[in-house]
Amino acid sequence: MEDRGTALGWDDEAKVQDNQYEMLPEGVYTYEVVNFKRERFDGSDKMSPCPVAVLQLKCTNQATGITGTGFCRLFLNTKVIWRVASFFKSCGLLDPNAAEGSNMPMSLFNNCVGCTGTVKVKVSKSTKGGTTYENNEFNFVVPKGGTPAQAAPAQKSWGGQGF
Q: Which residues pair with 136 in a beta bridge?
A: 123
d(CA 122, CA 28): 9
pLDDT tens, position by position, 60-112: 999 999 999 999 999 999 999 999 999 999 999 999 999 989 999 999 999 99
Confidence at residue 54, expressed as pLDDT on a 0 to 100 scale:
96
pTM of the model as a whole: 0.77
DSSP 153: P
pLDDT tens, position by position, 16-59: 665 556 789 999 999 999 999 999 999 999 999 999 999 999 99
41: CB partners within 8 A, 6+ apart: 47, 49, 50, 51, 52, 75, 77
pLDDT tens, position by position, 137-158: 999 999 986 555 555 444 333 3
Region of 110 (left: φ > 0; alpha: ψ -120 to 50; beta: rest) is alpha
Domain range annotation of the chain: 27-98+105-141
